[in-house]
Chains A and B, each alone.
Chain A
Amino acid sequence: MTATFTRRDLAVAACAGAAAALLPRPADAAPPAVGAPVPADDLPAREASWYRKLPEGRVECQLCPRGCQVADAERGACGVRENRGGTYTTLVYGAACAVHVDPIEKKPFFHVLPGAQALSFATAGCNVECKFCQNWEISQFRPEQVASVWLPPEALAAIARKKGVPLLAATYSEPVVFWEYVRDAAAACRAAAVRPVVVSNGFIQEQPLKDVLPLLAAIKVDLKAFSERFYREVVRGELKPVLKSLEVIRASGAWFEIVVLLISGLNDSEAEVRALVRWVKANLGGEVPLHFTRFHPTYRLTNLPPTPLATLERSWQIAKAEGLAFAYLGNVPGHPGESTFCPACGTRLIHRIGFEVLENKLTGGRCPACGRMIPGVWS
């Protein structure tokens, strides 16, 4: 567990989040103190919000498209939801295994409060298994295998408020698997004037997505490729439900951005990128920011090279040529593709290097040169 908050922060959170002590817990277990380690052999089980009971004590998860049917004493594919005597429980509610303050550009969001900081948190677990996962040491482990601390939703909001951080980001692993925690943290943040955002793979059923979207200030979706084969063989997921999620998000009016991690030979062909871009334009509109980011070898894909810059630039050009107004590059510090340009007059509006915002010329969400409105969450 790594955290950038201090003991004092936790004390503040403990006071401000006193209501957290009243959170539902198993009848025979007291909640850990705020900021205290979550005992690996006594995880804080809480009934899940999206599932249905089946005959013979089995349950069907209705959170992600896998729809795991889980027998008593077993867990879903995410590893963080367990059937306990016919009741489906989440084992990660309030159990944060990573807490950091990051620039919002790191998520990346380029159209959400540029230069702002986000209190970022995660729990163990994920509902897919990307062979290129950068955070596999938390996403691909079960909660009892990862050190976590008890940070109920109110405590997260209190820490963010105390630090003067305007955003709370559910990120790092996969927020879908801790969706109840996301929901309640988002609600707590709204009350504390902190804006909640989510960084997700979008592999979620429609109802839980719709239930939480109204609470969010923004959501970033990793569109990992534009082929079912890639999703099946490299992600162990499915493309179609992710596309459906993007359409649902678009229809909701929530602010969203899309990231595509390009991996040489797997999802970076010109034809696939062009098909992806055309689908985005046709179904989500030309104003949605689309980020192409560079792959670095990790986890189970250590045999592939980093994405060549030429591949990234080609994809960037395709997106612009196909009519997307806001195409970006990521993990290439100093490249012009990191900055925001006015699609009407070409003025550089936000100058970025890496996660740093060097200059922001936006005025009331508009280009100061030509007045073109730039969509996003700017204030």
Chain B
Amino acid sequence: MRGTLNRRELVRLAVLGLAAAPGVRAAPHASPVRRGRVGVAPLAAPAGRAVESGSARRAISAALAAATGLGDGRAAVTALFRPEDTVGIKVNCLGGPNLSPRVELVTALAALLAERGIPPRRIIVFDRSSRELERAGFAVRREGAPFLCVGIDNDYDREPSTSGEIGSCFARLVSTTCTALVSFGVVKDHDLAGVSAGLKNLYGLIHNPNKYHDHNCDPYVADVANHPFVRGKLRLVVLDGVVAQCHGGPAYRPDTAWPLGLVAASTDPVAADAWAWKVIDAERVRRGLPTLAQAKRPPRFLATATRYGLGVGDPAAIIEVRA
């Protein structure tokens, strides 16, 4: 079911020129959107440890290039974003310092956006709360360079907005401020949703995610992603898979985390999660754990997201392109 918009939202989207955006928003210049394709690049580091900034830059760039089929990360970012964009990078810091997107990787992506001509004040790294950001190692910053970094804290729309089964107040950063979004997640098991990667990360955009945990978060995760605030703006998913977790999420558990050693990127948000599902299940099988389906928590929302036309949700159909 498509999201519905009130008059205020329609005006807002019309102003942004996004009302007619189908699925993952197409590139302003080239055509970098690759449905079903996930680019991955190697990067090794222990849980919670920083990576060297040059390595982070190379990994991000390589993953973006592999995801888009373009020459390098800079070309990919040029195709995906415009200098006049305000880019929100939603990170998922619930897992704390050991299972959140690394600051160096996020910084590397922000640098690519800056090279695209987007000023630091229009590159906004954010999560649900300032406290979670700080706990994961991010410095909260409301001005200055190289990017802003803020918690949503309590800055939500005053009225709820409906998309499918959800009725939620969206972060004003998403509904009003940003013209483009990046979901920067991790690769981990989720006790209810099955997988928490790029799509489940979007629960952090709404004020009431706790209401939408039934039935493996289906159709709710897909409904959030299908809301025009998100569907019309989400250009890219990046996953910090340097360390992944195959069981016991969303909190960090050292016994079920493992060094996957990859950074993944995709312009197809559903494919990114389908890839994460495949990776997590492979590790579960290797450890003798039941698959997510056998554990009665398959990421059902992927099929719904596929039905909504948001991307490719069948793990078997994912094209993994190694850098």
Contact = CB atoms under 8 A, between A and B. Distances in A.
Interface of A: 40-41, 56-58, 68-79, 129, 131, 136, 140-142, 144-145, 236, 299-300
B249 A71 contact: yes
B187 to A, nearest CB: 17
B94 A73 contact: yes
A74 B207 contact: no
A277 to B, nearest CB: 31
A299 B210 contact: no
Contacts of A136: 160
A319 B80 CA distance: 64
A299 B130 CA distance: 28
B153 interface: yes
Contacts of A145: 154, 156, 207
B307 interface: no
B250 interface: yes
Interface in B181-216: 191-192, 207-208, 210-211, 213-214
A73 B94 CA distance: 8
A41 B131 contact: yes
Contacts of A76: 210
Interface in B250-292: 250-251
A41 B192 contact: no
B162 to A, nearest CB: 7
B250 A71 contact: yes
Contact of A78 (B129, B207, B210, B249): B210
Nearest to A42: B131
Given A142-B207, A300-B162, A131 B251 contact: no
Interface in B155-178: 156, 160, 162, 167
**Which of the listed residues B94, B156, B162, B208 has the most CB atoms from chain A within 10 Å of its own CB?**
B208
Q: Is the interface of A mostly helix, strand, loop or mixed?
A: loop
B48 interface: no
B210 A75 contact: yes
Contacts of A40: 153-154
B248 interface: yes
A140 B129 contact: no
Interface residues of B, number: 23
B129 A73 contact: no
A136 B169 CA distance: 11
B248 A71 contact: yes
The 9 closest A-B pairs by CB, nearest first: A71-B191, A73-B251, A79-B210, A72-B251, A41-B131, A300-B167, A145-B154, A75-B210, A129-B211
A40 B130 CA distance: 11
A129 B251 CA distance: 26
B154 A144 contact: yes
Given A40-B154, A77-B213, A58 B191 contact: yes
Contact of B250 (A68, A74, A141): A74
Contact of B130 (A41, A77, A131): A41
A65 B144 CA distance: 49
Contact of A142 (B160, B210, B213, B214): B210
11 contacts: A57-B248, A71-B249, A74-B191, A74-B250, A74-B251, A75-B210, A129-B208, A141-B208, A142-B210, A144-B129, A144-B153
Nearest to A84: B251
A300 B154 CA distance: 20
B173 to A, nearest CB: 15
A69 to B, nearest CB: 8
Contacts of B130: 41
B208 A79 contact: yes
Contact of B211 (A69, A70, A79): A79
A300 B161 CA distance: 8
Nearest to B211: A129
Interface string B115-141: 000000000000001110000000000
Nearest to B96: A73
Given A41-B129, A71-B191, A77-B211, A300 B160 contact: yes
Contacts of B249: 71
Contacts of B156: 145
A322 B49 CA distance: 71
Given A57-B251, A71-B248, 12 more contacts: A68-B213, A69-B191, A72-B248, A73-B251, A74-B251, A77-B213, A77-B214, A131-B167, A140-B208, A140-B211, A141-B207, A145-B156
Interface string B78-109: 00000000000000001100000000000000
B172 to A, nearest CB: 13
